[in-house]
Structure 1
Amino acid sequence: MKKIEKFIAENPDRTFFLLIILALPAFFYNLGLQPLFADEPTRANVALEMILSKRFSVPTVGGEYYYNKPPVYNWILASLYLLTGSFSEFVTRLPAVVPMFLFAVTIYYSTAHFLKNNTTALLAGIFFLVNGRMLFYDSMLGHIDIFYSWLTYISFMLMFYFSQRNEWFKLFFFTYLITAITFLSKGLPSVVFQGLSLIALTTYTGNFKKLFSWQHIIGGSVFVLIVGGYFYNYWLHNPNVVGYLDTMWHQSSQRTATKFSFWNNVMYVLKFPFEHLVHLLPVTLLIVYCFNREFIKRLFETPFLKFVVILLLANIWIYWLSPMTRPRYLLMLYPLIFVVISDAYVTFQGRLPRFNTILFYFVATACSIVTIILPIILMLETPQNVDYLVLKACIVFLLMAALCLLIWQIPSQKIVLFFAFLVILRLGFSFFVIPERNQDAKKYRAIAIEMGAISKGKPFYFYSYHPHVEDIPFYDRLIFYIERSRMQMLKIVDQDNMSGYYLTFDKNLENPSAALVKEYEDGLKLFFVK
């Protein structure tokens, strides 16, 4: 026990990477098991149709122009599809999960470099992986946000690095280069992040005039040339660039307070900080260490911590006032909170001995209870779709039990060991919970694949496809699995006079020669027109 305690205390760098290695199977096992859902099918559709149509400049879904997001993320996904020769759910989620680990490593190295404390860096980096939001939701979805947030966070760190060295040309050049990439991934939020961050940075450092310098003009020109070059090339294929930009603007502006009632806005503003404290549990339990005068003084005296707080305040308000904000939109800001909390815990834990004792017994007891009830739950509610159940249960139980023992024996390293325990809990989630989730989604995946197999080699039409916004993921999932099964694009139509297969939802074709091939549950029907 003494050797383990000494190793963690003296080797935070090695401990960090051991935890990363431990987390790999936890996050990758069964990653591709669940069908695509939420925004995943849309991203997959765009990438798949780029390959099928050989038109990589013009995103489409169902053969129709897709204007909501620019294509950089889809280019990455399409490249992985071509590189691996697979269009599986596992490959679809790689561009999110791999950047998640790279993001954690980036947090570690940037924090270690600027604060010169590897223990603080260890905690900040691991906090990104084991907060509740990442542990049980975002880490298993092929969304754009982790990749996008990772690049945005790199831009934040470059701003501080080059401003400290007074290298303003490099600061503007590299951050605008990254902003161009992120803009071509997600659109207008990138401009907002860059603008607010630069204003905050130059004001904080007393260099506001740099916003009017030749260095800034050249940096901004890099952004304009890259983004302008893309849209010029897009215009050569589809002249509706104005419609493209208008849709991107609508995507960003629809979440603002102007779209909601006064009381809805007030309630959202009041709940916002508490909701995100919950999303980031159990990391936010340590926020108690931030509430002391000495730490507030340290924030103002430590340049990097001061920059982190100013950057957070400069950017978070726009989401605080936007009621449709989802937690994943703030993934580039959460690490700023983790850095502050980590530094407070490492620096001032000795000032709160009573809370340290309470925290120790809470962590040790909670881990013990979870370890004891896991086999009981598995016996009472045996998962039906888990192979090698007993072996997996033994692996998780023994690892949890070992970490519980370490937590009780080494209270000085309770936080590091607790978050290792959470990684094992995530492994158990991958083993036992993921196979049981989304049974309805699996049903519709099977239906879509069957329709694709029936219609392979023939034209396929999605008839009268006009879903509500909230229904788009369901329809896009059908489109992806049909196209993947056929390896041919389908087309969305409002007429039924062409030969081929037609998919309808809660309606029949008007063409009298249409023959019903098969009717599925929930109103899905497959017709054939000669």
Structure 2
Amino acid sequence: MATNLLIDKETSIKDIAILVLFTLIAYIPFLGLPPWEGNEPLRVIIAKEMIQTGNWIMPILHGKPYLAKPPLMNWLIAISGSLFGTVNEWTSRLPSVVTTFITSLIVYFSTQRWLGREGRLFTAVMTLVMTGILKKGREAEIECLHIMIITSILLVWINGYLRRWKPALLWGISLFLTGIGFLSKGPQVLMFFYMTVIPYLLYRRKISLFFSKGHLFGMIILIIVLST
């Protein structure tokens, strides 16, 4: 058994190295070009304002509070800019690369119940190189961060459900992550979560889980996260 664990650990390290290599090749060389476009300058201006003023709580755009989108992506761009000493095309787009890579890791490690090692690696690599993700993963935009959060929420929930977690743990962790998701793109995260979970529970004839005390506990966790 110890030998099998060692082999699994070595295999996982090799697979992670492959994912790192794909990320480096597919994303890093392309971060500097083209110049910012679309909504990228908007994220960058807010991030620069955070660095310059030290006000990381309220996003500011041209001297006025910016409330159209939550601040999580702005924070990540500002952190990247602070670490590298400047906010430019490369540093502002790096958070999207990191979140895309993390998504591939989530897919790799969260699908062991259904896929073998090669299947998990293939799925994780395909996550990295899908056309839409390739494009958004090279931009200083919210989408790849949002994809990472949605992926983690749904895979945590389905793994917890199939492993028969206690309802409080199942809903508590899932809705805690959902609360974090509000900081990326707002209430859309609730729609993605419940439009997936409710039909699944109906299909499995387990809709009573939705009305459980555990779900109520999860909602309380969500409210606490949103109120902090």
Q: Does 1:195 align with 2:189?
A: no
The aligned counterpart of 2:152 is 154
Q: How does 1:105-144 map to 2 (within 5 A)?
A: 105-111=105-111, 113-135=112-134, 137-144=135-142
Check conservation: 2:100, 2:137, Cα contact below 8 A: yes
CA distance in 2, matches of 1:71, 1:78: 10
Q: How does 1:440-459 map to 2 (within 5 A)?
A: none
CA distance in 2, matches of 1:130, 1:149: 14
How many equivalent pairs are there? 217
Q: Which one-letter code corresponds to 1:21 in the other structure?
A: L
Q: How does 1:94-493 map to 2 (within 5 A)?
A: 94-111=94-111, 113-135=112-134, 137-167=135-165, 168-229=167-228
The aligned counterpart of 1:90 is 90
Q: Structure 1, residues 292-325: CA drift from partner, whole Å, max 9, x if none? A: xxxxxxxxxxxxxxxxxxxxxxxxxxxxxxxxxx
CA distance in 1, matches of 2:41, 2:152: 28
Instruction: Tell me the C-alpha RMSD between the 2 structures.
Output: 2.1
CA distance in 2, matches of 1:211, 1:30: 44
Check conservation: 2:127, 2:133, Cα contact below 8 A: yes
CA distance in 2, matches of 1:119, 1:95: 28
The aligned counterpart of 2:61 is 61
Q: Does 1:70 align with 2:94?
A: no
Q: Which has the larger radius of gyration?
A: 1
Where 2:113 maps in the other structure, the secondary structure is helix
Check conservation: 2:73, 2:141, Cα contact below 8 A: no
Q: Structure 1, residues 460-516: CA drift from partner, whole Å, max 9, x if none? A: xxxxxxxxxxxxxxxxxxxxxxxxxxxxxxxxxxxxxxxxxxxxxxxxxxxxxxxxx
Q: Which one-letter code corresponds to 2:147 in the other structure?
A: S
> Are residues 228 and 18 of structure 1, via their aligned partners in 2, closer, same or farther at CA, if it must alter by over 3 Å?
closer
Cα distance, 1:80 vs structure 2 = 2.2
Q: Structure 1, residues 74-115: CA drift from partner, whole Å, max 9, x if none? A: 12222222232221211101110111112112212222x121
CA distance in 2, matches of 1:61, 1:107: 36
Where 1:55 maps in the other structure, the secondary structure is coil
CA distance in 1, matches of 2:24, 2:41: 24
Where 1:29 maps in the other structure, the secondary structure is helix
The aligned counterpart of 1:416 is none
Stretches of structure 1 lacking an aligned partner (at least 5 in a row): 1-10, 230-530
CA distance in 2, matches of 1:101, 1:25: 12
Cα distance, 1:15 vs structure 2 = 5.8
Q: How does 1:28-43 map to 2 (within 5 A)?
A: 28-43=28-43
> Are residues 36 and 86 of structure 1, via their aligned partners in 2, closer, same or farther at CA, if it must alter by over 3 Å?
same
Cα distance, 1:16 vs structure 2 = 6.7
Cα distance, 1:23 vs structure 2 = 4.1
CA distance in 1, matches of 2:156, 2:109: 13
Check conservation: 1:12, 1:119, Cα contact below 8 A: no
Check conservation: 1:16, 1:126, Cα contact below 8 A: no
Q: Which one-letter code corresponds to 2:36 in the other structure?
A: L
User: TM-score w.r.t. structure 1 length?
Assistant: 0.39
CA distance in 1, matches of 2:26, 2:160: 37
CA distance in 2, matches of 1:116, 1:128: 15
Cα distance, 1:32 vs structure 2 = 2.1
> Are residues 16 and 222 of structure 1, via their aligned partners in 2, closer, same or farther at CA, if it must alter by over 3 Å?
closer
Q: Which one-letter code corresponds to 1:71 in the other structure?
A: P
Q: Which one-letter code corresponds to 1:190 in the other structure?
A: V
Q: Which one-letter code corresponds to 1:24 in the other structure?
A: L
| Percent identity of paired positions between Structure 1 and Structure 2 | 26
The aligned counterpart of 2:4 is none
Cα distance, 1:54 vs structure 2 = 2.6
User: TM-score w.r.t. structure 2 length?
Assistant: 0.86
CA distance in 2, matches of 1:207, 1:48: 48
CA distance in 1, matches of 2:16, 2:87: 33
The aligned counterpart of 1:459 is none
CA distance in 2, matches of 1:157, 1:54: 36
Q: Which one-letter code corresponds to 1:46 in the other structure?
A: I
Cα distance, 1:69 vs structure 2 = 0.5
Q: Structure 1, residues 115-156: CA drift from partner, whole Å, max 9, x if none? A: 141121122111112223234x22321111111111110111
Where 2:24 maps in the other structure, the secondary structure is helix
Stretches of structure 2 lacking an aligned partner (at least 5 in a row): 1-10
